[in-house]
Structure 1
Amino acid sequence: MLIYTVCSLLAYVLSRMEHYALSGFVLIFAALYLYIKEYRYSKSLVNLRGVFALAFIGGEGLAAMKLSHLAKPWGDSTWICLALAFGCFYIVFDILKAIKGNPYLNEERVLERSNEDMMYACIIILALTSLTAFNIEAIVLGFIPLFEKGVPHAYSYFHISGVHYFTVSCILVPAFSIVYLNEESRLGIIKIIFLVLANIIAMAIPILCVSRFQFMFAVLLAFVTLLILNRERIRPVYFVSVIVFIVPVYLLLSVARSHNVEYLNGIFEMKYNLPIFISQPYIYIANNYDNLDTLIKELPKHSFGLKGLFPLWALTGIKFIYPKIVDFPIFVNKTELTTVTLFYDAFYDFGIVGVAVFSTALGCIGYFFEKMIRSTRHATFYIIYAQVFIYLALSFFTTWFSNPATWFYFIVTLSIFFICEQKGR
């Protein structure tokens, strides 16, 4: 924590002196140091505190470099919020570690097999449910985004309230398939065929929706689940395979979205003539921090929990009865760039205090999840852990826990968990 505090203060001073590149490098150094430290401590590449440090502080470092004309000097309140966002997480994790013990030293896990046949049935049903929901949306809306040419935001209109949650729930199929294959040693040819078809559906639907995120989430969730199940046997080829699989599809979906280089460069307003494969990921990470700064500077009043509870209003249908309960403007520095950090809604609701409290809650969850993942007897819990891991790994991107889809995925995962635990009862 001392290294982070020193680096954060140094980055702030360098930024005020307009040495933006140095400011960013200092934060990136802190992110790498904290991740490596946590990796050595936990003896695992997959750990929540380490990946949160790498992603959130690393993203802050990229944003601090201010390589786009969109980036403006951050206010003092923004620097304080960013420091609290990570600091509270880190400190509460250490406090719990001192009180309840090192979460990484739990006894060796002994996996209790779930009801394999029931899990297999859930995988097939989930894939068929998603396929049915996708067909309903395609028929009612009259188009499939992948086949719409010259329409940059066709995917944004491919959405029927309530139905789309089921359409995209297919992204859980590959992860559950990994768990199933880990537990089931005897597979007949019929089961293999249907399992392959279920995973083809799970990969095809995000592509047909031209949803780069849903496709990446499906792959990453399965990948992280695999890493947890094989924590002691992680090989570099795993990472290479994922990159080789994701990158080509990501590029093809970018083309399918009618996002050409000229269109993107016009939005990004980069200070330097960087290739698009550098400027695009940079903006998709860095500008989110600038959007948080925009919110902090321009927000006229707080929403006191109403914005953060959007999943409740959405999943219960209350938003249709009282539309004003979700009518909150978004504060961003450019209309086309609406992604924000994990703590955007926390500040929207309660300001700096909200950021600190939310970070503290995440730190508590992180500690207990690390403790549970090393002693749990239920393999399905790995998928819940993997989801939280991805949300922290992409903490620079959006307000995951204010997204109804996030909670829908948790509900589906927990439902399958309880169904598969009925064995022997």
Structure 2
Amino acid sequence: MDVYVICFLASFLFARAGHYYLSGFVLILAAVYLYWYDYKRSGNVIHLRGVFSFFWVFGQALACLKLSYLQTDWSLITWLCFFIALTAFWLTFQLLEMKFGSPEGFRTRFYGLRDYSGPVFQVMSALTAVSLAAFLLEAYILGFVPFLVRGVPHAYSTFHITGVHYLTVSCVLVPALSVLYFHLDYKTKSIGRTAAVIMDVIAFAIPVLCVSRFQLILAVMLAVFTYILCKKDFSPLYAIGAVAAILPVYLILTVARSHDVEYLNGIFEMKNSHMPIFITQPYMYIANNYDNFNCLVENLQGFAWGMKSLFPLWALTGLKFLAPWLVNYPIIVNKEELTTLTLFYDSYYDFGVTGVFVFACMLGAAAYFVAERIPKTRNPVGYLFYAQIVVYFMFSFFTTWFSNPATWFYFAVTGIIFFYCSWKN
């Protein structure tokens, strides 16, 4: 933590002096050190605190480079919030570790859990069938499939029927479940393994047809992280291979959404107009979110007092339709087309700096207890829950995950699967 504090202070001073490259560079060093600290101690390549620390600080480092005209100098409150977000999370985890002990880490224990293979296969089958049926229903009612639509940049966002779409995108859990199934059913070459592969193909096809890049990434990442938890001898080459496999599909979906190079460059307003799009797009999808947070800090007229963070409650219960004023809080961003935010956007929207501090402490405590409890459970579905937390921490720079109804829907489905498998076993 001392290394981070020193690097953060140096980054702040460099930014104030206009040395943006140096400001970003020292934070990149801090991000790498924070991750290495937890990885070295635990041996867990996806240690929750290490993952959050690296991606949150690394994203801020990229934003500090100021490669776009959209990015401006941050206010003192913005810098304070970014500092509190990391330190409150990190120290809460550390205090709990000192009080209750370090999480024991994951071990391969599937050899005594083969009885779970049947229930896992059953829920995979049910989830695939429900997701496919929901997708076909949406396509029939709406009269189009986003992948086949041309000339409409945001056709994917209109492919949505209230309530039904949650079921459509639930397919992202299937590949991770198939990873568990293959580890549980490791001795046989049954027809079930062939069926699992077919279900995986369907699960990956639905996000592609919906032109949902993140749902596709989520499906891949959940499967990869679940695999990491299942294997002692995991090689980082597997993760690199997964990224290499998904990259061309990601580019195809970008084209399918009519996001051509000229369109994207016009939005990003890069200072170097000759920078290739495969660099500018991921850069802006990471870096501009921190500037959107700064835009919120500088332009927010009044706090929401918890209403923003409770959006999943209003959405999943349908109250947002009965009382629209519950969700009538405008999004404050620096450009209309760039609406991704960071994990702490809603917590500041609700309670300001205090909200960021409390939310960071809650996340730190949740991360510790997930890391401490999940390895001890004899139900392998717990690994899927852990993998979801890893994804949300990994993309902490992206959006307000825990104010997203889909996040809690996935948690609920995972919980149902967990208890069903325990009951059947």
Please indicate the TM-score interval, normalised by the length of the shorter structure.
over 0.9
Shift of 1:6: 0.9
Q: 2:191: which partner in 1?
A: 190
Trace 1:111-122 onto structure 2 (pairs within 5 A): 111=110, 113=113, 115-122=116-123
User: Does the C-alpha gap of structure 1 residues 189 and 102 become closer, same or farther in structure 2, counting only changes over 3 Å?
Assistant: closer
Identity in percent: 50
CA contact (8 A) 1:294 1:331 kept: yes
Amino acid at match of 2:177: F
Q: 1:48: which partner in 2?
A: 48
Amino acid at match of 2:360: S
> How many residues align structurally?
422
Amino acid at match of 1:202: A
CA distance in 2, matches of 1:304, 1:150: 41
Q: Structure 1: 5+ residue runs without aligned partners?
A: none
* Higher mean C-alpha displacement, 18-27 vs 283-292: 18-27
Shift of 1:237: 2.8
Shift of 1:110: 4.1
Shift of 1:101: 1.3
CA distance in 2, matches of 1:244, 1:65: 26
Q: 2:396: which partner in 1?
A: 395
Q: 1:6: which partner in 2?
A: 6
SS of alignment partner, residue 302 of structure 2: coil
Shift of 1:38: 1.1
Trace 1:55-94 onto structure 2 (pairs within 5 A): 55-94=55-94
Shift of 1:194: 2.2
CA contact (8 A) 2:309 2:346 kept: yes
Q: 1:217: which partner in 2?
A: 218
SS of alignment partner, residue 335 of structure 2: coil
CA distance in 1, matches of 2:387, 2:6: 31
CA distance in 2, matches of 1:423, 1:134: 29
* Higher mean C-alpha displacement, 182-191 vs 169-178: 182-191
Q: 2:147: which partner in 1?
A: 146
CA deviation map 1:345-390 (0-9, x unaligned): 0000111000000000010011112212332222110000000001
Amino acid at match of 2:87: G
* Higher mean C-alpha displacement, 108-117 vs 50-59: 108-117
Q: 2:308: which partner in 1?
A: 307
Amino acid at match of 1:89: F
Q: CA RMSD in A?
A: 1.3
CA distance in 2, matches of 1:239, 1:106: 20
CA contact (8 A) 1:302 1:351 kept: yes
CA distance in 1, matches of 2:351, 2:267: 31
Q: Structure 2: 5+ residue runs without aligned partners?
A: none
CA contact (8 A) 1:109 1:374 kept: no
Amino acid at match of 1:176: L
Q: 2:372: which partner in 1?
A: 371
Amino acid at match of 1:399: T
- Tell me the TM-score normalised to structure 1 length: 0.97
CA contact (8 A) 2:342 2:397 kept: yes
SS of alignment partner, residue 233 of structure 1: coil
Shift of 1:117: 1.5
User: Does the C-alpha gap of structure 1 residues 266 and 99 become closer, same or farther in structure 2, counting only changes over 3 Å?
Assistant: same
CA distance in 2, matches of 1:11, 1:177: 44
CA distance in 2, matches of 1:213, 1:192: 27
Q: 1:244: which partner in 2?
A: 244
Q: 2:410: which partner in 1?
A: 409
CA contact (8 A) 1:289 1:396 kept: yes
CA contact (8 A) 2:42 2:105 kept: no
Trace 1:101-180 onto structure 2 (pairs within 5 A): 101-103=101-103, 105=104, 110-111=109-110, 113=113, 115-180=116-181
Amino acid at match of 2:331: I
Q: 1:256: which partner in 2?
A: 256
Q: 1:29: which partner in 2?
A: 29
CA deviation map 1:159-197 (0-9, x unaligned): 011000000000000001111111113545532332222
Shift of 1:284: 0.2
Shift of 1:48: 0.6
SS of alignment partner, residue 126 of structure 1: helix
Amino acid at match of 1:15: A
SS of alignment partner, residue 424 of structure 2: coil
Shift of 1:393: 0.4
CA contact (8 A) 2:44 2:105 kept: no
CA contact (8 A) 2:402 2:408 kept: yes
* Higher mean C-alpha displacement, 369-378 vs 135-144: 369-378
Shift of 1:13: 0.9
Q: 2:329: which partner in 1?
A: 328
* Higher mean C-alpha displacement, 371-380 vs 214-223: 371-380
SS of alignment partner, residue 353 of structure 1: helix
Question: 4+ runs of 1 displaced by more than 6 Å?
Answer: none
Q: 1:17: which partner in 2?
A: 17
CA deviation map 1:320-367 (0-9, x unaligned): 110110111000000000000000000001110000000000100111
User: Does the C-alpha gap of structure 1 residues 200 and 60 become closer, same or farther in structure 2, counting only changes over 3 Å?
Assistant: same
Amino acid at match of 2:244: V
- Tell me the TM-score normalised to structure 2 length: 0.97
CA distance in 2, matches of 1:263, 1:406: 30
CA contact (8 A) 1:109 1:375 kept: no
CA deviation map 1:230-287 (0-9, x unaligned): 1x20113312320221101001111111111100000000001211111000000000
